[in-house]
Structure 1
Amino acid sequence: MASLRAWLSLPEVTPAEDYGFFGPESVAWQVWSYPTGLTIGFQRAVVIEELDPRLIAAVDATSAIYTRPRTRYDRTLRYFAMVMFAGSQATVAAADILVKIHSKAVGIDPVTGEQYDANDPDSQLWIHLTAWHSLLIAYERFGPGKLSAADETQYWHECARAAELQTCDPDDIPRTREGVAEYFEYMRPRLIGSDIAKKAMNHLLDAEVMLPPMPPILRPMFTLVAAFLRRGTLATMPRWMREMAGLPTGRVLDALVVPWLSAAMTVVSLNTRLELLLLQLISPTTVPVAAPMLLGVPPKNPVTTTPRRAQREYGYDIPAQAHHALRDKQRNRVLGKGLAPSDEGLIESQPILGDIA
């Protein structure tokens, strides 16, 4: 019952320093703040990502999604939310430390025999576009519906702005739905439904892995919720992706889950406290980031900026140029000496992204 009481006790809301890179007038806030965003949209993103053989090789090598699934999910969701809703200084600091974390994810992919590096611009582009596309798809399927043409154009331009926090080139971000579709078609022959990808995707489709221990009386309810989220996430995935990963492709269940999840998301969207309680259940460290936005608490300085301006102002290198000494050191340890990478970036990240224990 102590865990239940902790779940029902929301933390005090602290205003952000500024609106970061988007703010309440952005289309990205509209899409990402809807309950579909940090639930089905986020789950879809992390599941689909695993089809990239380079990414899944890095994920499988660390085994963190299996050994500490809740903290891994929590920290990743917190970073996603920071990009969208946190103040500019905190977010560029998080993006900088992420380069250090990714420096340890280097090695040889056992499936393709090629080198992988989580800081590789192509890998970062795949992660970034998969995330932004997934949150939009979930919003359209289970939320208010398709954006207007003008709003969607703005959304993809905002996606390019957020790419300034990654090691990829923002100029590589498509600015239209058609361009994004072309990107996924380009990636399609490069994706592999390997055994390690299938294992990870099935694991991440189980929403229960991100939940804390539940009192016995609540377990049946949350098992049902997790089943609906899994089916809803599957319903947003193209059939070719599901076939590649050996996942169910039934059209009937796809259709049946839509009205139920749409109704549930509508109910949650009308009750901010309920939305925060659900977020606290799946990602407690994300609540302080999202709460000011959901509650309409203005920041101390109600302005927006861009990642590039913030990086210059607060003294951070752009991610593509950051921490090359550490990245070289990690590559030498792993690829040159056959040793395990060091955890210094991961340990250093805890005050920003949350504990790894």
Structure 2
Amino acid sequence: MSDTGPARAVRHYVRREVSLTVHGDQGLHLERYSGPPGDPGLFGPDSVTWRVHADAPGMLMGGFASLMLQSLHPLAMAGVDQHSDFRRDPIRRLNRTVAYVVSTTFGSTEVAEAAIAHVRDRVHPHIHGTAPDGRPYSASDPHLLTWVHIAEVRCFLAGYERFGAPTLTPAERDRYYRETAEPARRLGARDVPESAAEVARYLRDIRPELQITEAAIEGIHFIRTFGATPLERAASRILMNGAAALLPDWARDPLRLGRSDLARLLVDRPLAQAAGRALRWAMEPSDIVGAAYERMGRTPPGRRER
């Protein structure tokens, strides 16, 4: 699509509104990504992680999918339900989550390590309690940290490949899981799977621990119906239906998403793919991704003049 005239105005509007929603009104803090020159951070421009995490639609819908999948663990969901302000200010929670992922992916080594240390040493120690079933939980529990990590990266990868980005080779998928395991371990996760086969085995083995809770149903309903205007609510529904299509088959029914296989195939997937193309056209490369590549003396793939 051309970037002249009305198309340029539309692209600017979408880019601004999505950026404001995802990153908040505090700015992008590009200084976290623009220096020091030559510092690859935790991954660098030749990593699969930079490629996957630079994909706007894959990360947005993959992120929603990971929230749904994570909610199936009763202890992880209890922590969100009892300590998160997502009902009162869901955008702020989104901003914090995005800031962590982007900082650890594209930030300098100092920025990435500081983001991990902040969550590990200052945030997680305060998140603990008792779940409705009487079991204690802690955000610092290595077992729960591994679950949250695997649910996240599995859905990011699914989103990247589902919504139009070039398909990865099996070796590249394994490399993505191996790369992203390192920051998860620094955060406190243990026995982190490092290949697609290990992730599949992990998800199979953890399924007996997973079950739906009222808090999870309430949280997913809140996200699916989020929006202050009809347009915002329609966009949320399209993105959430696209995200639901990324979930493992066994995860959909417990979450009561209410979509038939036919609806997902003929309605949800085409709408989500169209939304993905629009997001990629409007958002890529993001200013953050551009700053990170320039820090390394490189040009982001797909960069265009604006």
Quickly name the TM-score band, shorter chain normalised: 0.7 to 0.9
Range 252-261 or range 77-86, more displaced: 252-261
- 1:107 corresponding residue in structure 2: 129
1:91 & 1:228 partners in 2: Cα distance?
32
Amino acid at match of 2:70: E
- 1:298 corresponding residue in structure 2: 294
2:118 & 2:252 partners in 1: Cα distance?
33
1:77 & 1:148 partners in 2: Cα distance?
27
Counterpart among 171, 175, 178 of residue 197 in structure 2 = 178
1:198 & 1:27 partners in 2: Cα distance?
34
Indicate whether 1:73 and 2:69 are aligned. no
Indicate whether 1:83 and 2:104 are aligned. yes
Task: Give 1:281-292 correspondences, 5 Å limit.
Answer: 291-292=287-288
Q: Alpha-carbon deviation of 1:36? A: 2.2
1:90 & 1:12 partners in 2: Cα distance?
11
Q: 1:259 to 1:292 in 2, by over 3 A?
A: same
1:30 & 1:118 partners in 2: Cα distance?
29
Q: Alpha-carbon deviation of 1:144? A: 2.1
Q: TM-score, normalised by structure 1?
A: 0.69
Q: 1:198 to 1:78 in 2, by over 3 A?
A: same
Q: 1:181 to 1:206 in 2, by over 3 A?
A: farther
2:83 & 2:222 partners in 1: Cα distance?
15
Q: Which has the higher contact order (CA 8 A, sep 6+)?
A: 1
> 1:161-212 CA distances to partner (integer Å, 9 max, x unpaired)?
222331113xx2222212111111111110110111211222234453xxxx
- 1:247 corresponding residue in structure 2: 257
Counterpart among 253, 263, 271 of residue 260 in structure 1 = 271
- 1:135 corresponding residue in structure 2: 156
1:6 & 1:175 partners in 2: Cα distance?
34
Q: 1:266 to 1:296 in 2, by over 3 A?
A: farther
2:269 & 2:253 partners in 1: Cα distance?
21
Query: Partner of 2:129: helix, strand, or coil?
Result: strand
- 2:237 corresponding residue in structure 1: 227
Q: Which runs of 5+ in 1 are unaligned?
A: 214-218, 277-289, 303-357
Indicate whether 1:42 and 2:52 are aligned. no
- Asked if 2 retains the 8 angstrom alpha-carbon contact of 1:19 and 1:301, the reply is no
Amino acid at match of 2:139: A
- Asked if 1 retains the 8 angstrom alpha-carbon contact of 2:145 and 2:189, the reply is yes
Task: Give 1:119-198 correspondences, 5 Å limit.
Answer: 119-169=140-190, 172-198=191-217
Q: How many residue pairs get matched?
A: 272
- Asked if 1 retains the 8 angstrom alpha-carbon contact of 2:77 and 2:215, the reply is yes
- Asked if 2 retains the 8 angstrom alpha-carbon contact of 1:47 and 1:201, the reply is yes
- Asked if 2 retains the 8 angstrom alpha-carbon contact of 1:16 and 1:292, the reply is no
Amino acid at match of 1:192: Q
Question: What is the alpha-carbon root mean square deviation over aligned residues?
Answer: 2.6
1:35 & 1:141 partners in 2: Cα distance?
12
Task: Give 1:332-343 correspondences, 5 Å limit.
Answer: none
Counterpart among 20, 28, 31 of residue 52 in structure 2 = 31
Query: Partner of 2:155: helix, strand, or coil?
Result: helix
Query: Partner of 1:144: helix, strand, or coil?
Result: coil
Amino acid at match of 1:86: G
Amino acid at match of 1:157: R
Amino acid at match of 2:132: P
Identity rate, percent: 25
- Asked if 2 retains the 8 angstrom alpha-carbon contact of 1:35 and 1:268, the reply is yes
Q: TM-score, normalised by structure 2?
A: 0.80
- 2:222 corresponding residue in structure 1: 203
Q: 1:11 to 1:185 in 2, by over 3 A?
A: closer
Query: Partner of 1:36: helix, strand, or coil?
Result: helix
Amino acid at match of 2:236: A
Query: Partner of 2:126: helix, strand, or coil?
Result: coil
Query: Partner of 1:23: helix, strand, or coil?
Result: coil
- 1:269 corresponding residue in structure 2: 280
